[in-house]
Amino acid sequence: MAPNVVVVSAPTVSADLLSVSSDGSTFVFKSATGTLSHLAPGKVMLLQGYTAGVVVSVSRSGSRLTVVTQPAALTNIFQNADINFSQPIDFSNAFGALSPGTPISSDLAQPAGTRRPDVTVRPAGDKVPPVGLYYFGRGPGDFSYSVFASPSLSRLNWEIQTCVGAAVVIKTTSCNGGSSRTGLSIAATISGYIAKANLSGNFDIANGKNVRSSFSFLSVGGVTVTYQILDPNKGTYKLPVLRFPLSFNIPFVVAGIPMQLKISFAVLINVAMSSKNDTIHGGTTLTYNANESATESGAGDSAPQSLPKIVGSFLTSKPTITLGSAAIEIAAQMKVGFGPGIAVANILGYGDVIVALGQRTGSLVAGLPCSAFYLTVSGHAYMESQIAIWRITSKPVDLFSKSYSDPKAQC
């Protein structure tokens, strides 16, 4: 390890750590005894089995010790190392983590007298920020949403319910009635799962510098998108990208360093109408077997040549009625990143899968009742600049992009 690393044993962490700030940067200990007395600005604090960080400041109040840190890179921790790992992901260890400053779940349309199944707080004895697997909130504009995950040993089921011009009904996780300031009403449900996931990687560090790094996230998954759009007015609506403040983290350990796998989501919805009182229904369901990986060797990131297996269909059973032509686009991103510590601020690598679904309707007035569906499934990956020392910024590598269409659906 690097000479300025202070290793705090797991028993000391369990006995002396009193609290951690919600952003994972500030630690309060009972006292400054033993190895804790060696902590000082510029040192790297390694709490065995928990986290690692570069110490920014150390202060004492009575016997208590407060340590403020910033995220540590592997090159802060290791002077020389050749780290190789292959780690099956145990999703049963998953916990939900809110972004710093995010309020607890909103009441939204909570039925009177019901108990809110929102962010589940771990017992006070656990040395972690409040976490949960169920969150209700409001996004920019007229967005309201719920995010839910159900973890098991080898699988993580997840669901996002987004509402525009309405609120999420907590009891049923659906959208209640109502419309936005423009009259637009959207109810979209995006659900899926990740299963049989394995994370592997290699980090070759010499004299405190990265020589070569790579990672691979291999998983089987599925995504289902369904939506309903009601528009009493005509217009084009470009809604902001909704990035959810709740991520799902899975802890694991590599070479004695506490690591975290972080799964997060984003959704984009665009709508264009040419007539009033339109009703649009649609969706897609698919499964995939994908390898999101990248290798950094000094000349830029490179990606594997293998393409994923994708099987699915468009959902066209509910009718779409538009007097004039209309179009909708819904894109959902599932992003998987990993890095040292609790906050996963220093991402070592990430991969993502983006499912972009488009529907273009015909005009009933012109005798064109059909819809055309378009689907693109794409994947990307990169090694983060804090471990890949050859450049300041990093451009994602395009792993795959597969497109599908049905030009005569709902006829």
% of the chain surpassing 90 pLDDT:
33
pLDDT in tens, 255-290: 888 888 999 999 999 888 787 778 888 999 999 998
Helix (H) or strand (E) holding 226, with range, is strand 209-231
Supply the Cα-derived Rg of the chain in whole angstroms: 24
Where does residue 114 fall: left (phi above 0), alpha (psi -120 to 50 degrees), or beta otherwise? beta
Question: What is the chain's mean pLDDT, rounded?
Answer: 81
Question: Is 10 domain-assigned?
Answer: yes
Question: Is 163 domain-assigned?
Answer: yes
Report whether 356 contacts 225 (CB < 8 A). no
**pLDDT exceeds cutoff 80 at 164:** yes
pLDDT range class, residue 386, cuts 50, 70, 90? low
Question: Residue 11 maps to which CATH number?
Answer: 2.40.240
Q: What is the mean pLDDT of residues 79-85?
A: 91
C-alpha 134 chain-centroid distance: 14
Final residue in a domain of this structure, among 45, 72, 99? 72
Report whether 37 contacts 327 (CB < 8 A). no
Q: Quote the pLDDT of residue 124.
A: 35
**Half-sphere exposure of residue 278, counting CA atoms within 13 Å on the CB side?**
32
Tokens 């199944």 belong to 117
Instruction: Choose the most confident range, by mean pLDDT, from 69-73, 131-135, 138-142, 383-387.
Output: 69-73
pLDDT range class, residue 344, cuts 50, 70, 90? low
Q: What is the widest separation between alpha-carbon atoms in the chain?
A: 81
Question: Is 381 domain-assigned?
Answer: yes
Whether residue 59 is found in the same domain as residue 132: no
* Listed residue (16, 22, 67) closest to 43, CA to CA: 67
Whether residue 221 is found in the same domain as residue 264: yes
Spatial separation of the C-alpha atoms in residues 292 and 398, rounded to whole Å = 10
Whether residue 14 is found in the same domain as residue 100: no
**pLDDT exceeds cutoff 70 at 303:** no
Spatial separation of the C-alpha atoms in residues 173 and 159, rounded to whole Å = 10
Spatial separation of the C-alpha atoms in residues 118 and 133, rounded to whole Å = 8
Final residue in a domain of this structure, among 17, 48, 72? 72
Q: Quote the pLDDT of residue 314.
A: 94
Q: How many CB atoms are located within 10 Å of the residue 390 CB? A: 13
Q: Quote the pLDDT of residue 362.
A: 81
Q: Quote the pLDDT of residue 333.
A: 94
Q: Quote the pLDDT of residue 24.
A: 82
Spatial separation of the C-alpha atoms in residues 162 and 241, rounded to whole Å = 12
Whether residue 10 is found in the same domain as residue 144: no
| CB-based burial label for 364 (10 Å; 0-12, 13-18, 19+) | middle
% of the chain surpassing 70 pLDDT:
81
**pLDDT exceeds cutoff 70 at 116:** no
Whether residue 307 is found in the same domain as residue 388: yes
Report in angstroms the alpha-carbon separations of 262 from 97, 265, 303: 9, 10, 21
Question: At 34, is the secondary structure helix, strand, or coil?
Answer: helix
Whether residue 254 is found in the same domain as residue 333: yes
Whether residue 333 is found in the same domain as residue 404: yes
Q: Quote the pLDDT of residue 235.
A: 67
In the chain, what is the straight-line distance between the N-terminal and C-terminal CA atoms, in Å? 66
Question: Is 394 domain-assigned?
Answer: yes
Where does residue 170 fall: left (phi above 0), alpha (psi -120 to 50 degrees), or beta otherwise? alpha
Question: Is 318 domain-assigned?
Answer: yes
pLDDT range class, residue 121, cuts 50, 70, 90? very low
Whether residue 49 is found in the same domain as residue 156: no
Domain count, the chain: 2
Whether residue 23 is found in the same domain as residue 117: no
Spatial separation of the C-alpha atoms in residues 194 and 196, rounded to whole Å = 7
Q: Quote the pLDDT of residue 404.
A: 95
pLDDT in tens, 127-161: 333 334 778 888 877 788 888 888 888 899 999 98
Question: Is 149 domain-assigned?
Answer: yes
Question: Is 78 domain-assigned?
Answer: no
Give the length of the chain: 411
Whether residue 68 is found in the same domain as residue 87: no
pLDDT range class, residue 330, cuts 50, 70, 90? very high
**pLDDT exceeds cutoff 70 at 240:** yes
Q: What is the mean pLDDT of residues 97-115?
A: 59
pLDDT in tens, 208-236: 888 888 888 989 999 999 998 887 666 67
Q: Quote the pLDDT of residue 169.
A: 64
Final residue in a domain of this structure, among 50, 72, 94? 72
pTM: 0.81
Ranges of beta strands (E only) in 239-387 are 242-243, 246-254, 257-273, 278-296, 301-302, 309-314, 326-340, 349-361, 371-383
Task: Give the pairing of strands 326-340 and 257-273.
Answer: antiparallel
* Listed residue (400, 401, 198, 203) closest to 303, CA to CA: 400
Question: Is 77 domain-assigned?
Answer: no
Q: How many CB atoms are located within 10 Å of the residue 238 CB? A: 10
Whether residue 30 is found in the same domain as residue 87: no
Q: What is the extent of the structural domain holding 187?
A: 83-409
Spatial separation of the C-alpha atoms in residues 341 and 53, rounded to whole Å = 7
Q: What is the mean pLDDT of residues 110-135?
A: 42
Whether residue 39 is found in the same domain as residue 93: no
